[in-house]
Structure 1
Amino acid sequence: MNHFHILGLSALAASLCAPLAAHAHVSYTNRDLGTFTGTTIATNTISNQTISGNFGWADAADADWGDSHKVRWFRFTLEQTADVTLTASANATATAASIGGLIPGFSLYGGLAPSAAYDNAAVTQAYRATLPFATEGALNTLGDFQIGNDSGVINTLSFIGHSLDGVGYLGDGTVDGHTSRTFSLAAGTYSLVVGGGDHLAQLPGNPNLASPYGMSVSIAVTPVPEPSAIAMVLAGLACAGVAVRRRTAR
């Protein structure tokens, strides 16, 4: 089954249900994956999270963007360049009230949203008014966007890439409640936005329209070899090759 139906279905969803009001604030509370030196292998998992509905990531990937409180926001910091593998998975037992069946999708951005940012803050609305199309919210899961707070602080989230469970458009090729991707990242602070990837799950006939879907998010950081170390390895291989040729010649 194709769980991701962006093309041609945005208008259908809009005709059947009005956009949900976006009043919740962006928060990274209890969702900091950590600060990593990038010099050693390191991992972390946050497994006790839920998201309301199974569509927030997918809805924000269509032409009119989406609601920032229909996803969960995570953060992490790298102190130097490293390879970072991010994984989002359905987790039915994340909390006592959560259910299974999440179709996970995530987007990675450089930078952080300001404290207490949200879609309908005055500065966010002013930014949205500059866009050449109407928006349901400030969240763009396939590109850059800006979001601000009531103090007038507005930040740009710079899109790096995404990963989505499923066999349809943008999916990872399998439907297994799990999606993962590795990024080569420079030193900096990053936001990870995770939500449901089933665009049709927002239709009002869905009995689990606002159910709490359980999720787990993991990070694995792997050091990138220094150029000098790579050069030493190559030099060693070259020397070994010379030695083999000399023995063969004898």
Structure 2
Amino acid sequence: SATEFNTDGDVTGPRLQGLGLLKFAEYMREKKPDWNYSMSMYQFRDRGRLGLEIEDSNNQNVGIEQPLMDDYKTLLYDPYFQPGSEVIEKIYDRKTAKESSNIDKCIKNTKLRWGGAEDAEGLRFKIKLKEKPEFFDMAFPEDMNLMIEVNGIWFYKRPGVRVIDAMPAFFRKDAKPVAPGEEITVTVFAPPADGENPVTDKADWATNYRTKMTGSLGFRIRYEACGSIV
């Protein structure tokens, strides 16, 4: 069964709307009730003040971010509410920028399982960076549907796409700072491309989607731009 918890910004005002959410999360963290298995913010945009955004009265396709958005992001990055996942860990360590600029083959035919955002088996790479990169690209098998986390920032790769530019993981405001010589993680998961598990001969096909890496996976990491600004 599901229960709805609601704070209406038309009653509380936009700045206090997230307070109830944060207090409820604090209760969940401290009491750890056995009746709660998951929690989600189901309303992204609303014409009133129930969502993370309110609809722009001038354009229904545009949303105006509310303070509740920052409160919700705070919970998303709270370790207690982070999805749990079993990860096959691999080490990817390059000593110099020149070596790091090559596309390297690795982890072909590794089995991946997707049971949901809180129950998945994927790949994790540890990459030691010489310094903050100027370019950070990832190459994947074109036919795969993947979710990739780099330095705490998530990226999506749909089937047909080969290369993902992951530089936002280093310049976005919510990206983790990277110091010279620091190690970052890259985590890869493979949910079903159309959102539905295909019927297979596995007894748990309805709850678990299984696939494997169909080709090589590589990184292009560079620490210097080709040109300079004078």
Task: Give the TM-score range, shorter chain.
Answer: 0.3 to 0.5
Give the alignment's TM-score, normalised by structure 2: 0.44
Structure with greater strand percent = 1
The structure with higher relative contact order (CA 8 Å, sep 6+) is 1
Give the alignment's TM-score, normalised by structure 1: 0.41
